[in-house]
A = this chain, B = another copy of it.
Amino acid sequence: MPHETTATIISIGDELLIGQTINTNAGWIGMQLGLVGVRTKRVVTIGDERQEILDALAEAETDMVLITGGLGPTKDDITKHTLCEFFGTNLEKHPEIEASILAFFTSVGREPLEVNRAQADLPASCIVIPNTRGTASGMWFETAKQQAPTAKAKVYVSMPGVPAEMKRMMLDTVLPEIQRSFKPPHIVHRTILTTGMGESHLAQRIENWEDSLAMERIKLAYLPSPGIVKLRLSAYAEADPDAAIQRINGKVEKLHLLISDLIFGEGEQRMQQVVGDLLKAHGQTLSLAESCTGGYVSHLITSEPGSSAYYTGGVVSYANAVKMEELGIPSDMLELNGAVSKPVAEQMATGVRTALRTDWSVAITGIAGPDGGTPEKPVGTVWIAVAGPDGVESRCEHFIGTRGAVIQRSALSSLDMLRKRLLAQG
Contacts and interface: CB of A to CB of B under 8 A. Distances in A.
Nearest to A75: B203
A326 to B, nearest CB: 7
Contacts of A74: 199-200, 203, 222
A41 B47 contact: yes
A408 B76 CA distance: 27
Interface stretch (A137-145, A299-307, A382-390): A299-307
A260 interface: no
Contacts of A41: 17, 46-47, 52
A83 B251 CA distance: 35
A21 B223 contact: yes
Contacts of A293: 299, 302
A79 to B, nearest CB: 16
Interface residues of A, number: 97
Nearest to A315: B315
A130 interface: no
A204 interface: yes
A34 B133 CA distance: 33
Interface in A266-307: 288, 290, 293-299, 301-303, 305-307
A19 B29 contact: yes
Given A44-B42, A355-B326, A223 B303 contact: no
A54 interface: no
A192 interface: no
Nearest to A296: B299
A19 B42 contact: no
Interface string A154-165: 000000000010
A341 interface: no
Interface stretch (A174-182, A236-244, A397-405, A417-425): A397-405
A115 interface: yes
Contacts of A321: 312, 356-357
Given A200-B113, A313-B318, A18 B45 contact: no
A69 interface: no
A71 interface: no
Contacts of A407: 299, 302-303
Interface in A127-150: 133
Nearest to A294: B302
Nearest to A380: B108
A402 B111 CA distance: 21
B14 A23 contact: no
State the copy count for this chain. 2
Given A319-B308, A322-B313, A30 B40 contact: no
Q: Which of A294, A303, A355 has the most CB of B within 10 A?
A: A294
A46 B319 CA distance: 49
Contact of A27 (B19, B43, B52, B371): B19
A188 to B, nearest CB: 14
A369 interface: yes
A115 B31 CA distance: 30
B313 A326 contact: yes
Nearest to A358: B319
B45 A17 contact: no
A42 B34 contact: no
B16 A398 contact: no
Contacts of A221: 14-15, 18, 20, 76
Nearest to A322: B313
A55 to B, nearest CB: 9
7 contacts: A17-B39, A19-B31, A74-B222, A133-B402, A299-B299, A314-B318, A321-B357
Interface of A: 14-24, 26-32, 34, 39-47, 52, 56, 59, 72-74, 76, 108-109, 113, 115-116, 133, 164, 199-201, 203-204, 221-223, 225, 230, 232, 288, 290, 293-299, 301-303, 305-308, 311-319, 321-322, 325-326, 355-357, 368-371, 398, 400-405, 407
